[in-house]
Structure 1
Amino acid sequence: MATTIKELKCLEEIKQAFPVMKQLRTHLDQETYVELVTEAREVDQYKMYALLEDDIIVAVIGFKPMITLYNGRFIWVCDLVTDSDKQSKGYGQKLLSYVHDWAKLHNYHCVSLSSGLQREDAHRFYEEKMGYDKVSYVFKTNLI
């Protein structure tokens, strides 16, 4: 099976990624998803790439360039998901490695992300396969 990685730029491509992204972001309906992706692209330089297997989206990653005093110039991975029927084929690793290469090419010095406390398989993936370190906790409060 042939795999390719492609940036999703137009609205139709972004919509095509929704069934896979919905597996990670279960709280979103398609309309809200499209609104958030569109705004994030315009305001935060959010980028979305898909890994396609025989021209079908099987994994998606969303990220944005950032600058903070803690990390300097870095990439924040907002979303990374592989279709549940296609897991354990190395697709997440391919997409994350692609983002690492993109970051180096564009002069960003690290890649950072957060992962839900319950996602222990994902934590093993980040630490054991991708060489990430746990460096902090992420805290959140809802204001609405």
Structure 2
Amino acid sequence: MKVREDGKVATAKRARTDSEALDRIRHLRNLFVRRDAHDAVLAYCCTELLRTDFYEAVFEAIKGLGSRIRQMTNTEGDGYGLIEATMCGKEPVLVINNLITRTDRDEQLGVANLAKGLFSAFRNPVAHEPRLEWQMSEQAALDVLGTLSDSSTY
């Protein structure tokens, strides 16, 4: 991927050497850093982004979200159930703020719902639908990865 002069993301030609690929990784990382993205998002899907395989990039990044939550909470499970077990209820295991005010509790619930939505809308279809029947454009992938990165759970 590359960023054109007009600021839009476009497909770049395939890297032919390790140093070319490394330059692209640094470029992608800089794009994510400028947006205040979490390093772990790129770590989980860097290879797929370099291959411009957006379908797999989103799949890997969202699986990475589940993995991080399991690691952070020492909890089993996946997807919607993992989020329910770790981020929901009166005393969630994984908290994103102090949970003192109504706003704090609303934010916690909102991020939990966002995480559930990411699993339901992007990880589940990719896991169950053939690639030919479920397309992922570059822009859609960047939107999903940005949302994933912006969520307080990553």
What TM-score does the superposition give when structure 1 sets the normalisation length?
Answer: 0.28
Greater percentage in helix: 2
Larger relative contact order (CA 8 Å, sep ≥ 6)? 2
Structure with bigger strand share is 1
* TM-score when normalising by structure 2: 0.27
